[in-house]
Amino acid sequence: MPGSDRRTGDLLVVTATAVTPVAVQDPPLLNASGCHQPYQLRSIIEVHTAAGITGISEAYGDDATLALLAVGVAALPGLDVFDLHGLTSRVTEVLGNVVSSSFTELIGPASRDKTVAQVVGAFEVALLDIQGKALGRPVADLLGGAVRDTVDFSAYLFYKWAEHPAGSSSFAPDDWGTALDPDGIVAQARRMVDTYGFGSLKLKGGVFAPEEEIEAVKALRAAFPDHPVRLDPNANWTVQTSLRVAKELEGELEYLEDPTPGISGMAEVAARTSLPLATNMCVTAFADIPESVRLGAVQVILSDHHFWGGLHQSQRLAGICDTFGLGLSMHSNTHLGISLAAMTHLAAATPNLTYALDTHFPWKTEEVIQPGVLNFSGGALRVPTGPGLGVEIDRDALARLHEQYQRCGIHSRDDLAHMRLAQPHFTGRRPRF
Ligand code: GKR
Ligand code: MG
């Protein structure tokens, strides 16, 4: 231990990092790729410092991500937690030419820059947590200060089965039941709105024929006339189909998310509809922005600190959106409370992030953080006021979820294989409609 005359600031260097994969139960939610598996994987990151302050973060937990994080960990020892540029250069160096295999097909093709961004983003959040704890200030203050005390989220509606395909899970079915038609989706929305107070609704589409999903949107609009509605078929429609749907839903949607694959496909659709198009699939890195802006392909970008390189880089994206008159929303993938806290701080400190954020939160029955900080009220979360992220790991939960990871036998997300347990001939080909 260094001499007692040293200031805490001198000790804010990384000494060790732990990455713990966990598995959390997940319902059989349907999407363009297939069906969610019974367990979703996350990794919980703990960065320790010489000062005895530990920062936490959360990332994907599939094998490809764990391999990347294992390489990235080597970049951290000795790093000053305020040296975020140093984090980027060190991670870039240790990763070399590694390009991550795409761990989910829903965020566009892999690239070296994206690979670096994923690793930097995973560790940057933990470093910001340490900075905040050392200064006694919430992460939002480190990002320029909160411009709002609460952050709005959107309900995330999914077509779903009542149970996972036979023999594939060992826990009791969730209590949401089946949602396979407009009535089922409206009932699901009703419960989400009643329970959490959400003021906007997002429907995960690309599952059924577009006509059925149009009916579901119209049913939502009739049942919740004051709630903006979004539809996201994850690029499962051709340009022609997208235009047909867009025509039917002009004026009905807040935005249409990723109707068709690729920047040029989106541009073709955008040129012939007044509906704003949003994406978390075709513009997923800074390198995608120039072409997208040139072609007018998207009007709203869904940021995601896990892919864009952390909270500061997400704010850089916000600045670019502001400059080019683009809207900014936030993407969610299955996440736990650490990422939810990070998303909330980021949104609070990003003035032009005015759309309600996506969240998978209502679908989660297991959590890794201690309860009491992130409670939905009126569809919003209050920005945590404690130092750093303002949330702490529940160590018993972490141990149990890690043990569940070791038992569950899942090492990467495979919605296609899970769907095929029920529908052996499901192709997963896209666009299918
Ligand atoms: O959870 O099935 C899902 C979603 O489809 C997710 O994987 C997407 O990444 O929510 C995401 C999206 O907006 O595309
Ligand atoms: Mg999406």
CB-CB contact of 255 with 289 (8 Å) = no
Taking residues 126-152, report their average pLDDT: 98
Residue type, 5: D
Name which residue sits closest to atom 8 of ligand 1, judged by CA.
333
Same domain for 181 and 322, yes or no, is yes
- Is a pLDDT exceeding 80 seen at residue 2? no
Residue 204 annotated in active site: yes
Residue 6: its pLDDT value, please? 56
User: Does residue 365 lie within any of the structural domains?
Assistant: yes
* Ligand 1, residues at Cβ distance < 6 Å: 29, 31, 106, 204, 232, 234, 280, 331-334
Same domain for 301 and 350, yes or no, is yes
SS3 string of the chain? CCCCCCCHHHHCEEEEEEEEEEEEECCCEEECCEECCCEEEEEEEEEEECCCCEEEEEEECCHHHHHHHHHHHCCCCCCECCCHHHHHHHHHHHHCCCCCCCCCHHHCCCCHHHHHHHHHHHHHHHHHHHHHHHHCCEHHHHCCCCCCCEEEECEEEECECCCCCCCCCCCCCCCCCCECCHHHHHHHHHHHHHHHCCCCEEEECCCCCHHHHHHHHHHHHHHCCCCCEEEECCCCCCHHHHHHHHHHHCCCCCEEECCCCCHHHHHHHHCCCCCCEEECCCCCCHHHHHHHHHHCCCCEEEECHHHHCCHHHHHHHHHHHHHCCCEEEECCCCCCHHHHHHHHHHHHCCCCCCCCECCCHHHCCCCCECCCCCCCECCEEECCCCCECCCCECHHHHHHHHHHHHHHCCCCCCHHHHHHHHCCCCCCCCCCC
Residue-number span of the structural domain to which 104 is assigned: 4-137+397-407
Catalytic residue among 114, 160, 227, 331: 331
| 146 contacts: CB under 8 Å, gap ≥ 6 | 138, 140, 345, 348, 349, 383
Same domain for 362 and 245, yes or no, is yes
User: Does residue 423 lie within any of the structural domains?
Assistant: no
Q: Which atom of ligand 1 is nearest to the CA of 204?
A: 5
Taking residues 377-406, report their average pLDDT: 98
**CATH number, domain with residue 370:** 3.20.20.120
Same domain for 108 and 168, yes or no, is no
How far does residue 230's CA lie from ligand 1's centre (Å)? 13
Share of the chain above pLDDT 70, in %: 96
- Is a pLDDT exceeding 90 seen at residue 101? no
How far does residue 203's CA lie from ligand 2's centre (Å)? 10
CB-CB contact of 340 with 374 (8 Å) = yes
Digit-coded pLDDT (tens) for 355-378 = 999 999 999 999 999 999 999 999
Q: Which atom of ligand 1 is nearest to the CA of 332?
A: 10
Same domain for 248 and 322, yes or no, is yes
CB-CB contact of 80 with 10 (8 Å) = no
Tokens of 123: 């560790």
How far does residue 91's CA lie from ligand 2's centre (Å)? 28
**CATH number, domain with residue 125:** 3.30.390.10
Catalytic residue among 114, 133, 164, 204: 204
Ligand with minimal distance to 32 CA: 1
User: Does residue 78 lie within any of the structural domains?
Assistant: yes
User: Does residue 310 lie within any of the structural domains?
Assistant: yes
Name which residue sits closest to atom 4 of ligand 1, judged by CA.
333
Same domain for 355 and 208, yes or no, is yes
Kindly tell me the burial class for residue 370, based on how many C-beta atoms sit within 10 Å of its own C-beta (0-12, 13-18, 19 or more). Answer: middle
Q: Which of 232, 316, 228, 331 is nearest to 277 (CA)?
A: 232
Residue 421: its pLDDT value, please? 96
How far does residue 349's CA lie from ligand 1's centre (Å)? 24
Taking residues 413-432, report their average pLDDT: 95
Residue type, 263: I
- Is a pLDDT exceeding 60 seen at residue 5? no
User: Does residue 77 lie within any of the structural domains?
Assistant: yes
Same domain for 125 and 147, yes or no, is no
User: Does residue 432 lie within any of the structural domains?
Assistant: no
Name which residue sits closest to atom 5 of ligand 1, judged by CA.
31
User: Does residue 187 lie within any of the structural domains?
Assistant: yes
Q: Which atom of ligand 1 is nearest to the CA of 158?
A: 2
Same domain for 251 and 360, yes or no, is yes
Residue 21, phi then psi, degrees to nearest 5: -75, 140
Same domain for 179 and 67, yes or no, is no
User: Does residue 107 lie within any of the structural domains?
Assistant: yes
Q: Which atom of ligand 1 is nearest to the CA of 257?
A: 13
Digit-coded pLDDT (tens) for 282-321 = 999 999 999 999 999 999 999 999 999 999 999 999 999 9
Ligand with minimal distance to 154 CA: 1
Name which residue sits closest to atom 13 of ligand 1, judged by CA.
331
Same domain for 212 and 317, yes or no, is yes
Taking residues 397-417, report their average pLDDT: 96
Ligand with minimal distance to 300 CA: 2
Residue 170: its pLDDT value, please? 76
Our mutation pick for probing the ligand 1 site, out of 26, 30, 31, counting the most ligand atoms within 8 A of Cβ, is 31
Same domain for 208 and 65, yes or no, is no
Q: What's the structural domain count of the chain?
A: 2
Same domain for 279 and 256, yes or no, is yes
- Is a pLDDT exceeding 90 seen at residue 4? no
How far does residue 107's CA lie from ligand 2's centre (Å)? 8
Residue 331 annotated in active site: yes
